């Protein structure tokens, strides 16, 4: 249930940004991140009443075996990571170029006092 600890950190960060009540946030979620948009959304709904919007970022890898650069094949998702393979040579030695992070992009705060 590491999504709840992640969401708790996001909530704390948003509350330090907003001087009033938070209304909505936008998260950029990489397709290779440890959590999916669905997992984050489910946890957020249990913890706060804010609107949560997502920007999905495609994953890009570089294969250290054949040099392929592009979207990897996702073999399996675990709670601690994602098992990937090169779609060209099926190699497993990959360098992730983008798409592994979750970034708080925007916070909308209610106007006026709490």
Segment 57-106, tens digit of pLDDT: 999 999 999 999 999 999 998 877 899 999 999 999 999 999 999 999 99
What pTM does this model have?
0.87
CB 44 within 8 A of CB 18: no
Segment 1-29, tens digit of pLDDT: 578 999 999 999 999 999 899 999 999 99
114 pLDDT more than 70? no
Dist CA 9 CA 12 (whole Å): 5
Which residue ranges form the domains of the chain, and what is each CATH number?
Answer: 1-58+99-114 (3.30.2320.50), 59-98 (no CATH)
46 pLDDT more than 70? yes
């Amino acid at each position: 249930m590491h999504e709840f600890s992640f969401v708790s950190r996001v909530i704390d960060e948003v509350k330090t940004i907003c001087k009033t009540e938070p209304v909505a946030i936008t998260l950029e979620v990489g397709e290779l991140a440890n959590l999916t948009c669905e997992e984050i959304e489910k946890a957020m709904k249990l913890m706060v009443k804010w609107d949560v919007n997502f920007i999905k970022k495609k994953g890009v890898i570089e294969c250290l075996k054949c040099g392929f650069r592009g979207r990897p094949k996702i073999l399996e998702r675990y709670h601690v990571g994602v098992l990937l393979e090169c779609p060209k040579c099926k190699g497993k030695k990959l360098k992730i170029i983008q798409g592994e992070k979750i970034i708080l992009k925007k916070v909308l705060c209610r106007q006026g006092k709490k």
